[in-house]
Amino acid sequence: MNAHEYLSQIKDFDITITNLQDEIDALYKQASGLSSPAFGERVQTSTNGDSPQEKILLKLEKHILTYTNLKNRYLRLRKKIVDQIDNLDDWRYKRILYLTYIKGWHTAEIADEMNYVPETVRRMRAEAREMFQKKYLVTECYT
């Protein structure tokens, strides 16, 4: 795994966690819609535990557990990567990697922030990744 792939894990985790949160929200809505039948309606109960509401609640419970585990892994990885970036020697490399991989900024935004032209940011980001790779010999993957 190269430095770019390693550092990009934060974004990948972020997307996965956001998608899972959307699914959890949808399941909450489904569960609350099933829990209150309309007035006068009879609800058939299931004897084998396979009612629609039970299925939704079991799926919701599984998703919440997965979300919690992913979020904890994400937070540990994010802290580790931020600490590694902070331990680089060149403040410009630190700033470019932080804005790119932690904040998710695009090249033009970083160039404006640092008063560089975009090509300089691209060149320096490549140098920063190379420095990061050499310093940490990235071999880990959390995904």
Domains in the chain: boundaries: 3-37+50-136
At 49, list the tokens.
């535990």
Helix intervals (H) in the chain: 3-34, 52-86, 91-97, 107-114, 118-136
Q: Does domain 3-37+50-136 have CATH number 1.10.10.10?
A: yes
pLDDT in tens, 101-129: 999 999 999 999 999 999 999 999 999 99
- pTM more than 0.85: no
Mean pLDDT of the chain: 87
Helix axes 118-136, 52-86, angle to 10 degrees: 90
Which pLDDT belongs to residue 37? Answer: 47
Nearest to 89 by CA among 139, 121, 134, 120: 134
DSSP state of 136: H
Which pLDDT belongs to residue 116? Answer: 97
Q: Which residue has 């975009």 as its token pair?
A: 118
Q: Which residue has 């309606």 as its token pair?
A: 41
